[in-house]
Chains A and B, each alone.
Chain A
Amino acid sequence: MSIEALKKEIISSAEKEKEKIISEAKAEAQRIIEEANERALRIIERKRAQIESELRNRKEVAVAVKRLEGKRMVYEQIMKLLDEVRAKSLEKIKAIKESDEYIEIVSKFIVEGLKDLNITEAKVLYSSSDADFFKKNSKKITDKVSKLFGKKVKLEFLDSNESFLGGVIVSDVDEKVFYVSTFDGKLNALFEERLDEILNILRGGVE
């Protein structure tokens, strides 16, 4: 073989090797890029899912907070109504105290106390603010109680030295047992224990 022919052969072989090297490099490059793109896609999907989850959580928290605020708004209106009910009730109760009806009411409370304590002789404690009323009406009340109770009773009316809205506290003569029947106590108990009934009426329900 001549040198020229040999040269042609060797160079041709080198060119083929070159093509093979470049071709393999391109294939490897393509594989690297494809793998990277797939990985990038997975990263983006994962990040998107993560952000979606974070946004969902933030949304749930924001909605829950808004619901709480909304319920507080409704609750405030209910509290406002209850305050108005209490205020108007107090006005009416005070008005009743100024009327003749108060004698009837106090007499009835005392009878309930006597029955509850199972006594016929009792001390009747009243609010300092009612001192004039009881001084003026004690005999009338005693007679009324005797009539309602069905037998003669002996009552001693005493200033409790406490100021309450109205009503009485009945005790035995030794002041060992008490029957509390004050307007304040009844009013507070009503708003604590039977609030649902008041709310039901305010909502338009039946008493």
Chain B
Amino acid sequence: MSEELNKLLEIEREAEKIIEAAREEARKIIESAKKEAEEAIRKAEEARFPELEEKVKRELDEELSKLEDSYKEEAKKVYDTGLENLDKAVEFVVKEVVG
């Protein structure tokens, strides 16, 4: 009887070991998942968008260049037109001053 009881206790210990090992494995699985999750969040928080910045920079450079050309053209046109009409403007001024 005592021998049988000992065997039974041994079997119980073996079963407990199986369950304990399973719990340890489960803990490792969860731990690993948490690390993976933390890594995913960390990467997200450190995320950069160089391609987006580059794209906007390219578009901006292009727009600024077009604007500059446009204003240069306008400035030249204003000056050229002004030169064409300079004598008329002088005539007007002189007439108003001495007239």
Task: Name A's B-contacting residues (CB within 8 A).
Answer: 3, 6-7, 10-11, 13-15, 17-19, 21-22, 24-26, 28-30, 32-33, 35-37, 39-41, 43-44, 47-48, 51-52, 55-56, 58-59, 62-63, 66-67, 69-71, 73-74, 76-78, 80-81, 84-86, 88-89, 92-93, 96, 101, 105, 183, 186-187, 190, 194, 197-198, 201-204, 207
Taking a contact as CB atoms under 8 Å apart, the answer to whether A73 and B86 are in contact is no
- Indicate which residue in A44, A58, A198 contacts B93 across the interface (CB closer than 8 Å): A198
Given contacts A33-B33, A66-B68, contact A17 B8 (CB under 8 A): no
| Residues of chain A with a CB closer than 8 A to B60's CB | 58-59, 62-63
Interface of B is mostly: helix
| Residues of chain B with a CB closer than 8 A to A85's CB | 86, 89-90, 93
Docked CA distance A19–B98 (Å) = 110
Taking a contact as CB atoms under 8 Å apart, the answer to whether A29 and B32 are in contact is yes
Taking a contact as CB atoms under 8 Å apart, the answer to whether B85 and A203 are in contact is yes
Q: Contacts A33-B33, A81-B83 given; 4 further ones with Cβ under 8 A?
A: A39-B44, A59-B63, A81-B79, A89-B97
| Residues of chain B with a CB closer than 8 A to A19's CB | 22
CB neighbors of A among B27-42 (8 A):
27, 29-30, 32-34, 36-38, 40-41
Complex A-B: 8 CB contacts under 8 Å: A3-B4, A10-B14, A11-B18, A47-B44, A73-B71, A74-B71, A88-B90, A105-B98
What total of chain B residues lie within 8 Å of the partner, measured CB to CB?
Answer: 64
A94 → chain B, closest Cβ, in Å? 11
Taking a contact as CB atoms under 8 Å apart, the answer to whether B34 and A32 are in contact is yes
Docked CA distance A190–B85 (Å) = 18
Taking a contact as CB atoms under 8 Å apart, the answer to whether B44 and A44 are in contact is yes
A96 → chain B, closest Cβ, in Å? 6
Contact pattern, B 50-66, Cβ under 8 Å of A = 1, otherwise 0: 00110010011001100
Docked CA distance A85–B9 (Å) = 116
